[in-house]
Chains A and B, each alone.
Chain A
């Protein structure tokens, strides 16, 4: 099972778990219809689009309404802490939530009771909490953007709003230095996908690959285009690709989808996701050397 957990900006949405499915422009989890917008919804939709193409089991989604006050986030963490051993997912991807260091610590402890340790992915505030709590090395994959990379490199910051100014001022050519600083302080997951004008795939401090083509700078302003990468790579890892291969394919596919969508800063993330099947059909075999026949 691949389990994706995160909050949704829907007031009153109770804690809900179930297999994700699509209904028109909506994501459906246990009869709850969810609009595909920035955040966890974009991530799950990207993962679902990928699993549908690969004809593998759809992601299980654990979602809850939270518009910032944290109650839903805490319910989500508590549910995971109590049930992760029973669920024993092969891939556990944590996403939007109110970052909570103590609950993240308890969750990492609870994961040790799984029959087989899940591959642990964290993005968004789940990544913030893991780093702030000193638990980054308990995770297999982080997917920071440039500012979040600076946050991982700053040993004192508990949120990107508090990073040192000189780290915020760095450009993409400085990414290797930030990566080295983060690994030196054990503030990075085993594998990093650093998203930017050039994407860096880094394993245990070693830069394995960079991706800069196609160059689609208009993806950056579009809310949810980082979430889609994390969703895709979660699905590719679940499908059996090596984590670094999954991140490379996901980064390339996202860029190509942006190009096919003729992305502008006003494009919506669902327009990017809608291009994924065409991208997979044209490039997946070539990029992954694993060829699926849809």
Chain B
């Protein structure tokens, strides 16, 4: 017998919580059919909100997973980081004025737009594979016509880029009214 504890084959860092076991099983089926790696686990007592079964997920995939569960009408309570001390999702943004352009930063993601036209001129930051894809899809489009990262993306980087887009849109539309 090995004296060493074997590292788990899946380390997701995120938990989907459910009200009952049936929902957890149904969600597992939905996610596995879409090739997400997930694992049924018992949530730690301090995080438990409904039943004693949860799904461990790769936390970075939270937005794509939540979108899929909603599309399939699979009931869940919430998605949380597994580490109890983790902060909530960042809600604040930072705005930088570059003269003719404005840059909005949400966590690790930045979006820059032309103040007059509302055209997205650049996105930067991040590290997940949907970010270069969204970069290509969004640049050159007006803020109010651009695809939403929350609809096209799958990762937390995309969710933060969506926050930056939302704030940019509010700034630009507010500016137009002046």
The chain A residues found within 8 Å of chain B, CB to CB, are: 7-9, 35, 37-41, 66-73, 95-102, 105, 123-128, 132-133, 145, 147-148, 151, 154-165, 168-169, 217-218, 220-226, 264-267
Contact = CB atoms under 8 A, between A and B. Distances in A.
A84 to B, nearest CB: 18
Given A66-B129, A98-B58, A226-B124, A133 B11 contact: yes
A35 B133 CA distance: 12
Contact of B124 (A69, A225, A266): A225
B143 interface: no
Nearest to B124: A223
B135 A37 contact: yes
B98 A159 contact: no
A169 B105 CA distance: 12
Nearest to B130: A68
Contact of B127 (A124, A162, A224): A124
Secondary structure of the B side of the interface?
A: mixed
A257 to B, nearest CB: 16
A128 B158 CA distance: 15
Contacts of A145: 108, 125
A264 B101 contact: yes
Contacts of A123: 127
B122 A223 contact: yes
A163 B114 CA distance: 29
A9 to B, nearest CB: 4
B129 A265 contact: no
A128 B127 contact: yes
Contact of A98 (B7, B103, B105, B155): B155
B124 A38 contact: yes
Most buried by A among B58, B64, B88, B108: B108
Interface residues of B, number: 59
The 4 closest A-B pairs by CB, nearest first: A68-B130, A124-B127, A39-B132, A9-B133
A163 B13 contact: no
Nearest to A65: B129
A67 B129 contact: yes
A158 B83 contact: yes
Given A38-B132, A98-B58, A68 B158 contact: yes
B58 A221 contact: no
A67 B85 CA distance: 31
B98 A265 contact: yes
B43 interface: no
A181 to B, nearest CB: 14
A98 B59 CA distance: 11
Nearest to A6: B129
A162 B108 contact: no
B149 to A, nearest CB: 10
B108 A148 contact: yes
Contacts of A224: 124
Given A70-B61, A147-B108, A223-B124, A41 B101 contact: no
B129 A158 contact: no
Given A147-B107, A221-B122, A223-B122, 15 more contacts: A38-B132, A40-B132, A68-B155, A70-B129, A95-B127, A96-B128, A98-B128, A99-B127, A102-B10, A105-B11, A156-B87, A160-B156, A164-B87, A220-B124, A264-B101
A52 B81 CA distance: 44
B154 A68 contact: yes
A68 B87 CA distance: 24
Contacts of B159: 161
B160 interface: yes
Contacts of B61: 70, 98
B89 A161 contact: yes
B132 A159 contact: no
Nearest to A40: B132
B131 A39 contact: yes
